[in-house]
């Protein structure tokens, strides 16, 4: 009766390690409990002990001390009284139950063992010598004792004894999980490298796929080095078809079964669509992995995370190829996408998210595996649901529900195991649904360590003991649903062994989950639908979902500019709403911060490219505004908003505000401007959605108006006119002087050729209009005296112009002409 005490720490060892801040998702772990054990049990045969059987136990002894181990003895103990109740199995396995008192065979080590050395042992005993009673499960223990007879180590296990007859077999239906916690924050950023390792031949998901497929054609080769391309994969479909045809021709001895399903135990695959999406993303393109930091931390939303770039994973590609073959045609059920916490979403009025999780789940399975999932079967988180969850899933087409036995407890007062199926009222005029209740004790037994040879043998015995105890309870025909934990991490040998045992053990009869139906008599064994308090308390909190809602608001704003009503961040939000985060609030907060940052960066990818300061060289003009869509996949429609900080100084004219940009495209919008006053003004540019909500930060664009334009030209023209008016009198006077000089020369031409000649010479020697006049006046002197020099100073001309006869005054008394001339000159000089 000591199984439970051993099992509890064993279960703790096998339970999936919670992700650290650096990994953010479950990583492959070594859940073997044999490390450092002095005694292991590696096989117990036969699996079903009859009256004529010989029980054989083999294993290994290891010296785990620092001293030499000598004279060690291995001995067998058992009890002649079987367990009377299933609850005793767990207690005995832990070492807390009643100890078996009957001594069996023993053997001594043939040699001493130095520290770290090991040796094998083998113990045998005939069943008839054990004098066991009827069919049942009997305690069995293996001890390691030192030379003084003191027990150093003990392994507790079970001996199912068939005796002369067996009870009626119990139907067993398998639910085989391919699930994991969310592996990504946004679609391109993985929280760790753990998934790639898990998909390998020695990884958790790799072992589950191969063992569940139960086919030699489904195998995973060791992952190639990162720099090496994956080795070619044979045509799996052709190989499977050929193998199927051969088996169909030959048949087998497996109860008359023929064909590809011969020898296979029917299982139903339980798949998380988000995991399939993660694997497909990893296999298709380059992706980013969050760099480990050692301690769980929540990054600031504006802080850039440190990520490592990864090439497409050959391991993921290989796993997908084999999964598409191995699951083709097999029954598949799904949980909501990312195992969304439906109960919490409905409680927080997030029904649309709950609907999206269910619909996206089926779509993802179809897209990745190329096959349809059975949408009539629902498996709520932890196998628990309240009436609101039941009604919601029923409305979505679910007619069968995988539930925990805590949700539909047994009504039996004797402690027996109730059958798995039960009628489940759904309310209204709808027919009752069917509840398929998972046996929690069997799930716990499957979860114990099984990665090493020693652990696998004990785990297999525990499975045989649990199912034998159910059969020994007798009663009406019953069905048990075997559903390992969603993060089940069994050893490859153990996973394959429990499926074989389902067919080989005489007290079990494997059936398909889809063949289980409830009838009217089933309601007597199960109570009403119950939602335990621990179920409500474990839901995602309202505070956390409000924080997720803040991210959703930013996503809603981003979605308003996308065409075709696309919602690229919907899967990321559903991953944030996963029930997996119930027990890991730090990882949930980290994933939420990463998604929030990804949304911000995506919105910033639709932006205005800033320009340099614009100089407006006229009263009106146009500027070009460059708008870019740097998104990789999404087409956007945005509106350009421009306003001037000073409309009196600079105003914006009409321009094309709405534009549609395909991924990676840019466009230029030409905007007319009008300047009323010279100077600097700032235009503020931003992008908005159709409702006028800003989707980008404002970009300032300085504009300098220089004042050149119609107004400036008018001012220049007025200035030129003033200049012309000011210079016109002077030009007219010059013209008058020239004309007067010509007239004087013409009048003197008939009286004195010499004088005309002298005047002509004086005019030729003068520089400009003034010199010409002076030469003409000086030529009036009869002797050509001082007045005849055309270069003479104006003072000479003023002196001669007074008309003195002695200085060559004109005989006709025309000295007044010289005065006018002098006066004109004086006026010009003034």
pLDDT tens string 333-346: 999 999 999 999 99
pLDDT for 119 equals: 93
Whether residue 817 has pLDDT greater than 60: no
pLDDT of residue 297: 61
Lowest mean pLDDT among 117-121, 191-195, 486-490, 520-524: 520-524
410: pLDDT confidence band, cut at 50, 70 and 90? confident
Domain 606-708, CATH number (from 3.20.20.70, 2.60.40.10, 3.30.479.30, 1.10.3720.10): 2.60.40.10
Check residue 524 and give its pLDDT: 66
pLDDT category at 827 given cuts 50, 70, 90 is very low
> What's the pLDDT tens digit per position in 730-789?
878 887 888 777 776 665 555 444 444 444 444 434 444 443 344 334 334 334 333 443
Phi-psi category of residue 136: left, alpha or beta, with phi > 0 → left and psi -120 to 50 → alpha: left
What local confidence, expressed as pLDDT, does residue 521 receive?
A: 53
Segment 102-160, tens digit of pLDDT: 999 999 988 889 999 999 999 999 999 999 999 999 999 999 998 888 999 999 999 99
Specify the pLDDT at position 148. 85
**What pLDDT shows up at residue 6?**
36
pLDDT, residue 296, reads 57
The answer to whether the CB of 457 falls within 8 A of the CB of 449 is: no
Nearest Cα to 319, choosing from 236, 259, 376? 236
- Average the pLDDT over 575-594 and give the result: 94
CATH pick for 3-166 out of 3.90.1720.10, 3.90.550.10, 3.30.365.10, 2.60.40.10: 2.60.40.10
Which range (323-327, 541-545, 707-711) has the least confidence? Answer: 707-711
Predicted local distance difference test score (pLDDT) of residue 14:
31
- Residue 242 scores a pLDDT above 70: no
Q: Given this chain, do its domains 3-166 and 606-708 carry the same CATH topology? A: yes
Mean pLDDT of 209-215: 96
Q: What is the pLDDT of residue 182?
A: 96
Domain chopping of the chain, boundaries: 3-166, 173-244+261-444+497-531, 542-604, 606-708, 717-829
pLDDT in tens, 54-91: 999 999 999 998 988 888 999 999 999 999 999 999 99
Q: Which element (helix H / strand E) includes 755?
A: helix 753-765
**By CB neighbour count within 10 A (0-12 exposed, 13-18 middle, 19+ buried), where does 290 fall?**
buried
* pLDDT tens digits for range 657-669: 999 999 999 999 9
Q: Give the per-residue pLDDT at 559.
A: 95
pLDDT level of residue 618 (50, 70, 90 thresholds): confident
Report whether 361 contacts 334 (CB < 8 A): yes
Handedness of CA 328, 333, 339, 342 (dihedral sign): positive
Tell which residue, 778, 202, 751, has the closest CA to residue 495: 202
pLDDT at 569: 96
Q: Show Cβ contacts of residue 203 under 8 Å, excluding neighbours closer than 6 positions.
A: 28, 197
Q: What is the pLDDT of residue 802?
A: 39
pLDDT at 722: 85
CA atoms within 13 A on the CB side of 497: 21
pLDDT band for position 414 (50/70/90)?
Answer: low
Q: What is the pLDDT of residue 809?
A: 40
Query: Could you tell me which residue, 582 or 32, shows the higher pLDDT?
Result: 582
Q: How confident is the model at residue 435 (pLDDT cuts 50, 70, 90)?
A: very high
Structure tokens of 432? 């009752």
- Judged against a pLDDT cut of 80, whether residue 364 lies above it is answered with yes
- Pairing type for strands 73-78 and 136-145 reads antiparallel
Overall average pLDDT of the 808-824 stretch: 39
pLDDT confidence of residue 731: 79
> Half-sphere exposure of residue 653, counting CA atoms within 13 Å on the CB side?
12
Res 42 pLDDT > 90: yes
Average per-residue pLDDT for the chain: 81
31-35, 529-533, 632-636: range with lowest mean pLDDT: 31-35
Averaged pLDDT, 510-532: 81
């Amino acid at each position: 009766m000591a199984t439970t005490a051993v099992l509890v720490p064993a279960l703790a060892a096998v339970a999936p390690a919670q992700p650290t801040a650096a990994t953010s998702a479950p990583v492959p772990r070594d859940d073997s409990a044999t490390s450092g054990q002095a005694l292991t049990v590696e096989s117990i045969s036969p699996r079903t002990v009859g009256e004529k059987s010989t029980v054989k136990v083999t294993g290994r002894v290891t010296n785990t001390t620092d001293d030499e181990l000598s004279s060690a003895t291995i001995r067998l103990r058992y009890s002649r009284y079987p367990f009377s109740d299933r609850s005793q199995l767990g207690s005995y396995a832990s070492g807390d139950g009643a100890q078996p008192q009957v001594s069996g065979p023993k053997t001594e080590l043939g040699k001493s063992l130095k520290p770290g050395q090991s040796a094998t042992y083998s113990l045998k005993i005939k069943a008839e010598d054990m004098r066991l009673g009827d069919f049942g499960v009997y305690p069995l223990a293996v001890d390691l004792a030192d030379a003084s007879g003191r027990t150093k180590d003990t392994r507790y296990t079970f001996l199912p004894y068939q005796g002369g007859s067996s009870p009626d077999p119990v139907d067993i239906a398998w639910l085989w999980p391919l699930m994991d916690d969310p592996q990504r924050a946004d679609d391109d950023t993985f929280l760790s490298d753990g998934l790639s390792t898990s998909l390998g031949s020695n990884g958790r998901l790799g072992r589950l796929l191969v063992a569940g497929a139960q086919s030699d054609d489904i195998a995973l080769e060791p992952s190639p080095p990162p720099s090496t391309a994956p080795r070619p994969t044979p045509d799996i479909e052709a190989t499977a078809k050929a193998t199927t045809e051969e088996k169909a021709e030959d048949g087998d001895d497996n109860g008359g079964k023929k064909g590809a399903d011969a020898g296979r135990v029917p299982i139903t695959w339980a798949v998380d669509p988000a995991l399939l999406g993660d694997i497909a993303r990893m296999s298709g393109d380059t992706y980013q992995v969050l760099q480990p930091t050692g301690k769980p931390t929540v990054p600031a939303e504006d802080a850039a995370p440190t990520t490592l770039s990864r090439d497409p994973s050959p391991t993921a590609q290989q796993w997908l190829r084999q999964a598409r073959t191995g699951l083709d045609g097999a029954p598949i059920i799904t949980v909501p996408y990312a195992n969304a916490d439906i109960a919490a979403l409905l409680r927080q009025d997030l029904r649309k998210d709950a609907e999206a999780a269910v619909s996206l789940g089926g779509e993802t399975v179809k897209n990745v595996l190329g096959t349809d999932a059975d949408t009539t079967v629902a498996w709520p988180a932890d196998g628990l649901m309240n009436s609101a969850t039941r009604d919601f899933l029923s409305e979505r087409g679910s007619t069968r529900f995988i539930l925990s036995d805590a949700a539909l407890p047994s009504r039996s007062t004797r402690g027996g195991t109730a059958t798995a199926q039960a009628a489940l009222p759904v309310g209204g005029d709808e027919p009752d649904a069917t509840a398929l209740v998972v046996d929690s004790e069997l799930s716990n037994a499957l979860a114990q360590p099984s990665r090493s040879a020693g652990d696998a043998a004990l785990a297999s015995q525990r499975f045989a003991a649990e199912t034998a105890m159910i059969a020994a309870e007798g009663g009406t025909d019953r069905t048990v649903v075997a559903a390992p934990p969603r993060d089940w991490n069994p050893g490859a040998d153990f996973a394959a062994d429990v499926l074989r045992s389902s067919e080989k053990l005489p007290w079990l009869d494997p059936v398909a989950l889809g063949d289980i139906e409830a009838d009217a008599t089933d309601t007597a064994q199960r109570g009403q639908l119950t939602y335990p308090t621990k179920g409500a308390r474990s839901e995602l909190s309202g505070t956390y979902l409000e924080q997720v809602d803040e991210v959703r608001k930013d996503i809603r704003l981003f979605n308003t500019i996308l065409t075709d009503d696309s919602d690229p961040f919907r899967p990321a939000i559903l991953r944030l709403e996963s029930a997996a985060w119930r027990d890991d609030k730090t990882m949930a907060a980290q994933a939420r911060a990463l998604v929030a940052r990804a949304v911000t960066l995506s919105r910033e990818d639709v932006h205005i490219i800033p320009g340099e300061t614009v100089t407006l060289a006229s009263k009106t003009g146009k500027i070009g505004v460059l708008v870019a869509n740097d998104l990789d996949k999404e087409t956007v429609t945005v509106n350009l908003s421009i306003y001037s900080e000073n409309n009196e100084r600079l105003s914006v004219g009409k321009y094309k505000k709405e534009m549609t940009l395909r991924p990676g495209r840019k466009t230029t919008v030409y905007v007319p401007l009008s300047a009323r006053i010279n100077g600097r003004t700032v235009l503020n540019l931003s992008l908005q959605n159709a409702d006028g909500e800003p989707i980008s930060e404002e970009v300032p664009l300085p504009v300098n108006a220089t004042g050149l334009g119609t107004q400036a030209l008018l001012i220049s023209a007025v200035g030129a006119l003033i200049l012309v008016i000011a210079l016109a009198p002077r030009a007219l006077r010059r013209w008058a002087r020239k004309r007067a000089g010509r007239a004087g020369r013409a009048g003197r031409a008939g009286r004195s050729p010499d004088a005309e000649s002298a005047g002509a010479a004086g005019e030729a020697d003068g520089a400009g209009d003034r010199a010409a006049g002076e030469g003409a006046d000086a030529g009036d002197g009869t002797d050509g005296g001082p007045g005849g020099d055309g270069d003479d100073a104006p003072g000479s001309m003023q002196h001669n112009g007074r008309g003195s006869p002695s200085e060559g005054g004109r005989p006709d008394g025309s000295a007044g002409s010289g005065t006018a001339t002098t006066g004109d000159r004086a006026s010009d000089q003034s």
